[in-house]
Structure 1
Amino acid sequence: MTAEMDPVQRLVNDMLHEIFMTLGKGDPCDLARASCVSRGWHEFVISNGLSKQLCLKMFPQLYGVDRVTESCSFKSDGETGSSNTKEWDVLEREHRVYGFLSHCARSIVDRECISDAISASSTDNFPEEGINNTLEIRDRVGRIASYWSSKGENNPAVPETLIYKLVGDLGVITEIDIQPFKAFFQRGSPIYSAKSVRFQMGYSKASLDLDSVDQSCHISLNDKFVWTYTSPEFPMAQARELFAEIQVARACSLYRRIPSC
């Protein structure tokens, strides 16, 4: 389509911006399709970062994302005059990645994110006090207490680690809820809470099959994961309360490498 035949080229930039953003609200893929109509549309959508703007409007939790990367690089097609510049390459990358996120995230519903418990760094009495108990909301099932207990360390600075598998390949974590266990069966009903907690998001390396991990073998799996996000440490009170609204870096974490090719 030539500029003479394209009516959009006759509109002012503010009006063009509204048209394209409205187009993308129904389906983010429509914005990507529009960018393929002509060179002019392609340049306008990418140079103004419309895919990124649309994604952030849909999911403001992603405002804290520092940068985006792709698992493989794309080469410019050389058709656009500025396509060989570093700035244009960054804009094209953001166009692809944020467009992908918008498309995938529309199918995400507000629900529990954990699908399975993978392993604990230690367990006092396995499986009675195993990590699977942490998936149970109740503190007792029937007359049996439901909790996870580590073996304990003489040095309180030694950390314990719990690893979980999430429900999907792509997700946005906005809140994590933790409730310390109150040992109602012990004298004084003591509450066992951590001094502090922190969270990591990432993905397993190709050499690790999560379904084959033996929970009874308490070995460190940290080197089997690529951690793409680590939160600050959050102190915990020794109280039997649901510690909610622990915001994970405000922007949340995407827990998978985004496939780009």
Structure 2
Amino acid sequence: MDKERDNSGDFLDRVGPDISASIFRTFDHPADLLRASLVKRSWRRFVVENDFCRKLCERLFPEAAIFAAAVEVSRSAPLSPRSSPSPDSPESSGDVESRAAQAEFRIYSNLLRALVSTRRSVDCILHCIGASSTDNFPDETIENTLEPQDRINLRPSYSSGGQDEDGVTETLTYRLSSDICIVHEIRIQPFEAYFPRMVRFRMGHCKLPCESESFVTDEDKDEDENQEDIADENYVWTYTSPEFPVLQESSLQTFKLQRPVLCIGGVVKIELLGVQRQATDDRYYICVCHAQVVGRSLSPVLMVDISDSGSRLVLKYLPAARGMRGMRSKALMQDNTLEWLEWARRTRYNQTRRLATMNLLLGPVQINELDNIIGGGV
């Protein structure tokens, strides 16, 4: 009788899997989906087996569909969801599938939490990769656009190299602070009379391994090498914005994207459309003082592994990397050693102690509700 009462009270059993799936697909906020997974074991199993977390990620941010696989990097060997059991493994295929499904649930539930985080947006640019052309290189290099000022050593911060014809598109390409960023808006301050008429933005990843990608530096690169770095054949663009009109004035202008965009791979290209003619040499130029890519970084817990010449992207989840800086965690993650895991544990312990001290001084700190559901922070 008790068993019958329990079955009769299970919503999933009463309405059936098809209607249940239709209802679960209406959830448009991660908190609703993750709360449902906590109702009872059968509900969690239903969420896990139907990949609802991954599907919601892709619905909120279509760029997430580019991932070919997702891997949880832990103390043991990395577990890839939907992997096949080894012939020598004592586990059945059902056990492996269940563990893989649970891993995928953890990966994408943490990605969901990061996607809807209320952390403050900041300028995400880490490095300059290169510009399509530069006048007076390296004095007017793209690197000057990282500084919020009109001139560097009495020169325009950045100036294009000058074109013989109108209609040429000049570009500025930047590396963001992490592999995965949510970008809300891009800000550009053009310089004096050499304003672009329109701007457009592209986001994506480099096909080359990270260690082979180089950046602009005044000392060791010339303009020809700069052109090789930004060649379009080296990149895969997963998002292209519409064109935005530019006010013909020297002010920091904000271009808000139609929706937040998931930049997977950490590369943003700013396309400057419509150059201006200079009377002294009858050539066409564009000048830019400053540029910002405003959003939030999702590293170091979530990273991207790129292989097969950029055609295969793997989402990596590093639960032990909370509190670590992106570049440090990336270098250590490649080894996946006990030393890396111990370093991550110590870092998180120190962070907890600092939080406890703040609580004593400032009072209790509000914790995002999803932290309690998933556990930990991104």
TM-score calculated relative to the size of structure 2: 0.47
Gaps of 5+ in 2: 13-19, 71-80, 85-92, 266-303, 305-313, 318-378
Q: Check whether the contact 1:104–1:170 (CA below 8 A) recurs between aligned residues.
A: no
Q: Hey, what does 2:197 align to over in structure 1?
A: 195
Counterpart of 1:237 (choices 222, 232, 247) is 247
CA distance in structure 2 between the aligned counterparts of 1:199 and 1:237, rounded to whole angstroms: 17
Aligned partner letter, 2:183: I
CA distance in structure 1 between the aligned counterparts of 2:110 and 2:132, rounded to whole angstroms: 35
Gaps of 5+ in 1: 57-61, 84-91, 183-190
* Paired residues for 1:1-261 under 5 Å: 4=3, 10=9, 12=11, 25=31, 34=38, 38-44=41-47, 49=52, 63=60, 65=62, 68-72=65-69, 75=82, 98-105=108-115, 106=117, 109-141=120-152, 144-182=154-192, 191-207=193-209, 209-211=212-214, 214=221, 216=223, 217-220=225-228, 221=230, 222-244=232-254, 246-256=255-265, 259=315
Greater strand share, structure number: 2
Change in CA separation of 1:236 and 1:97 when aligned onto 2, cut-off 3 Å: farther
Give the match's secondary structure for 2:157.
coil
1:72-125 CA-to-partner distances (Å, cap 9, x unmatched) read 38549997xxx9xxxxxxxx9x96774242244449642111111111111010
Give the match's secondary structure for 1:223.
helix
Q: Check whether the contact 2:64–2:262 (CA below 8 A) recurs between aligned residues.
A: no
Aligned partner letter, 2:9: R
Give the match's secondary structure for 1:122.
coil
1:30-68 CA-to-partner distances (Å, cap 9, x unmatched) read 769859x84542214665946766x69xxxxx7463772
Q: Check whether the contact 2:63–2:239 (CA below 8 A) recurs between aligned residues.
A: no
CA distance in structure 1 between the aligned counterparts of 2:148 and 2:248, rounded to whole angstroms: 19
Q: Check whether the contact 2:63–2:264 (CA below 8 A) recurs between aligned residues.
A: no
Q: Check whether the contact 1:179–1:242 (CA below 8 A) recurs between aligned residues.
A: yes
Give the match's secondary structure for 1:252.
strand
Change in CA separation of 1:159 and 1:96 when aligned onto 2, cut-off 3 Å: farther
Give the match's secondary structure for 1:134.
helix
* Structure 1 residue 242, shift from structure 2 partner: 2.1
Aligned partner letter, 1:131: I
Q: Check whether the contact 1:175–1:247 (CA below 8 A) recurs between aligned residues.
A: yes
1:108-151 CA-to-partner distances (Å, cap 9, x unmatched) read 6421111111111110101111101111111135x634411011
Give the match's secondary structure for 2:138.
coil
1:190-249 CA-to-partner distances (Å, cap 9, x unmatched) read x211121111101111256333553633425221111111111112232123221x1224
Change in CA separation of 1:40 and 1:32 when aligned onto 2, cut-off 3 Å: closer
CA distance in structure 1 between the aligned counterparts of 2:222 and 2:183, rounded to whole angstroms: 25
TM-score calculated relative to the size of structure 1: 0.65
Q: Check whether the contact 1:120–1:161 (CA below 8 A) recurs between aligned residues.
A: yes
Greater helix share, structure number: 2
CA distance in structure 1 between the aligned counterparts of 2:264 and 2:64, rounded to whole angstroms: 15
Q: Hey, what does 2:73 align to over in structure 1?
A: none
Q: Check whether the contact 1:63–1:251 (CA below 8 A) recurs between aligned residues.
A: no
Give the match's secondary structure for 1:172.
strand
CA distance in structure 1 between the aligned counterparts of 2:252 and 2:110, rounded to whole angstroms: 35
Q: Hey, what does 1:187 align to over in structure 2?
A: none
CA distance in structure 1 between the aligned counterparts of 2:215 and 2:5, rounded to whole angstroms: 57
Aligned partner letter, 2:65: V
Aligned-residue RMSD, C-alpha: 4.4
Give the match's secondary structure for 2:182.
coil
CA distance in structure 1 between the aligned counterparts of 2:260 and 2:5, rounded to whole angstroms: 39
Identity of aligned pairs, percent? 29
